[in-house]
Amino acid sequence: MMNKEKILQCLNNILELELAGVVRYTHYAFMVQGPYRLSVVDWLREQAKESLMHAEMVGEHITSLGEHPTLKIGELLETHKHSTEDILNECLEHERSAIKAYYDLLENIDGKSIMLEEYARTMIATEEMHEAELKKMLRDNF
């Protein structure tokens, strides 16, 4: 039997992270300076749009369970570090938090809802691809 309370907690955590991603990536796009600014800004703005799309998806899953999505937003820590490298490292940290949140959902839903299980697996793959891209962007540091 599915622990609806635990699943809802996982989904709302994901919602908060994705909404924080919208704000983070938008803010980071404002702050990027230097010779690669335009390409990095484009990438960050695409990530902000994707985070909003992910937030919308998870909100739909929450309401599909007959529940109410949170109005909270994940942690938004201003580090005042605005080099492109610092920004990309913060993005990497954020993506890793999202991966963990989706794995938590998968662990709690495993075998109890194919719809939510497939959703979690798809999102893990998506977030792991983002992590891989960020590692490539930061290649000199890995």
The domain locations on the chain are 4-66+80-141
Residue scoring higher pLDDT (58 or 142): 58
SS3 133: helix
Q: How many residues does the structure list for the chain? A: 142
Q: Hey, how many other C-beta atoms are within 10 angstroms of the C-beta on 34?
A: 9
pLDDT digits (tens, 9 = 90+) for 81-97: 889 999 999 999 999 99
Band of pLDDT at residue 37, cut at 50, 70 and 90 = very high
Q: pLDDT at position 138, please? A: 93
Report the first-to-last Cα separation within the chain, whole angstroms: 43
What pTM value is reported for the model? 0.93
Domain 4-66+80-141 homologous superfamily, CATH: Ferritin, core subunit, four-helix bundle (1.20.1260.10)
d(CA 22, CA 46): 10
Secondary structure of residue 88 in the 3-state scheme: helix
